[in-house]
Copies of this chain bind each other. A is one copy, B any other.
C-alpha cells in the first residue's frame, strides 16, 4: 500500500482509514462528538444540511412512488412487543426444527430487541405501570395501528414512511454515522393484498435504491441475506451494502418481505372482492445516516471530504481575491455571480473572509465543496472565473455562460466520483478460489449452492461473513465452490461493519 500524504494534521486515508475517518468527520464540522453520551453526536449545521439533502432525495423518491409521510410516537409500550416476540420465537423454532411455523404454537420468549433498547420505566417521580422503550425501528408501533386503517381491498396498498430518530443500545465501539446510539432513520412500511404485490414493492424499493445511489455516486452490493441473517419475522431480507475504502462493507439500507407472517401476529386483515377476510402481505424498507458515513468514507481523500454535487451543502464556493487598494471590487462581482447561480437553483457560498487564500482553499477542501471559483481582478478583466474541481483539475469558465458551465462541471465531477468508486469496486470485489488464501481489504464472490454447514465452513475458514446472494447472479452456471453443483448463484463474502 502506498504511503499517503498527510496534510496539516489530517491522517492519511490510505494508510490509516480508522484514524482518517473520525478526524475528518469532526474537522469538516459534520458532527461534534464531545457531547457527553458516547455514540450520540451533535449534528452541526454543515453535517445536518448534508443529511437533510440526502433526506430530500429520499422524499422525492417517496413522492414519485406514492408513499405518504407519517410520524409515529417514539415510545412503544413493552406489552405491544409480545405478539411480535412470540412470532419471532416461533419462526426461530420452526427454522431450527425444520417444520412449518404455522404448525407451532406461540411461546413466551424474550425477543432479541429487548436487550438492545433504552427503557423508560419512570416519569417524573412515578414508576410507570407499563414500561416503554425508545423505538429501535417502528414495526411494532405501526403494525398496532395498521389494522385500524385497513378494512378492505380499497385501503390497499398502504404505503407510508417516516424519517425519525431511533435508538439502539450499542455495546460495540461507536463510530459517527456508522454505529451510533441515536440514529437518524428512514423507514417505509407497506401492506398489500398478496405476496406478488409485496414482491413488486421490494422491486420498487431496489429501484429507489439505484436512483439514490446514482445521486450519491455510491456503488452498492444488493444481496439476499442468508436465512440466519434474515430480519426477525421476515420471509427474506435484501441488504444493501456500500463498499468502504478498507474493503469492509457497510449495510446502508435493507428491504424485508414479511409475506403474511407479521399480519398474522398483528391481526392485519382486509376484506377482498369476494367479501372474504385475507391477511395482508407486508414489506419494510429502511435506510439511515450510514448513507452519509458511506459518502464520507468512499469519496473523501487526504485533503478532506468530497461531497457528491447532489447533496453538497454548497455545490460552489466563490473566493474573491481580496487585495487592499485594488480598484476592482471582486467581492461585489462574486456576489453577483452567486446570485445568478442561486437563482438557477445552485447552492452557493461566497467566502468574503479577509484571510489568506490558502486558508480558504484548505477549509473548503476539508468540507468537500465540489467546485471552487476564484475571482481576481484579472479574471474579471477576462470575464471569466477560475474553476478548481475538488476532484482535481483547473480551468477558466466564461462568466457569460456561468450557470451552464457550473452545471456541466458539477455533472462531470459526479461522473468522476462514480468512475472512481466503480474502479474501487472492481479492484476490491474479486472471485474467491482458495478458502485458505484470503487477502485483507478484499470482498469475495463465489458460485455457491451448498448447505448451511458448507456456509459455516466458509465463514469459519475465511473469517468473512456471508452477505448473501447477489441480486445480480452469474450469467452462466458455474460449479459451487463447496458442493460442485452447477449454479448461477453469486454469493458475496466480506468483512462487515
Return A454 CB to nearest CB of chain B, in Å: 34
Quick check: B144 and A35 within 8 Å, CB to CB? yes
Quick check: B121 and A121 within 8 Å, CB to CB? yes
Interface residues of A in 35-78 (CB under 8 A from B): 35-37, 40-45, 48-49, 52, 68-75, 77
Interface residues of A in 113-141 (CB under 8 A from B): 114-125, 132, 134, 141
Sampled A-B contacts (28; CB under 8 Å): A32-B145, A34-B148, A35-B73, A35-B141, A35-B144, A36-B77, A36-B80, A36-B144, A40-B73, A40-B74, A42-B73, A42-B145, A43-B70, A44-B70, A45-B70, A52-B69, A73-B182, A74-B182, A114-B124, A115-B124, A117-B123, A118-B122, A118-B123, A119-B122, A120-B134, A121-B122, A123-B169, A164-B165
A432 within 8 A of B: no
How many copies the complex holds: the figure is: 2
**8 Å CB contact of A48 from B35, B37, B70, B182:** B70
What sequence of 0s and 1s flags, for each residue 168-192 of chain A, a beta carbon within 8 Å of any chain B beta carbon?
0101000000000010100000000
A77 to B184, CA, bound (A): 20
Q: Which residue among A40, A42, A45, A148 has the maximum number of chain B CB atoms within 10 Å of its CB? A: A42
A429 within 8 A of B: no
**8 Å CB contact of A72 from B42, B69, B72, B75:** B42
Residues in B neighbouring A160, C-beta threshold 8 A: 45
Q: Chain A residues in contact with chain B, CB under 8 A?
A: 32, 34-37, 40-45, 48-49, 52, 68-75, 77, 80, 114-125, 132, 134, 141, 144-145, 148-149, 160, 164-165, 167, 169, 171, 182, 184
Residues in B neighbouring A77, C-beta threshold 8 A: 36-37
Quick check: B120 and A115 within 8 Å, CB to CB? no
State whether A124 and B169 are in contact (beta carbons under 8 Å apart), knowing that A40-B75, A144-B35, A148-B34 are contacts in the complex.
yes
A117 to B125, CA, bound (A): 9
Q: Which residue of B lies closest to A79 (CB)?
A: B36
Q: Which residue of B lies closest to A120 (CB)?
A: B118
Beyond A42-B70, A45-B160, 20 additional contacts (C-beta under 8 Å) are A32-B149, A34-B145, A35-B145, A36-B77, A36-B144, A40-B73, A40-B75, A42-B145, A45-B68, A48-B70, A48-B71, A49-B69, A52-B69, A74-B165, A118-B120, A118-B123, A119-B120, A119-B122, A120-B134, A123-B169
Return A365 CB to nearest CB of chain B, in Å: 21
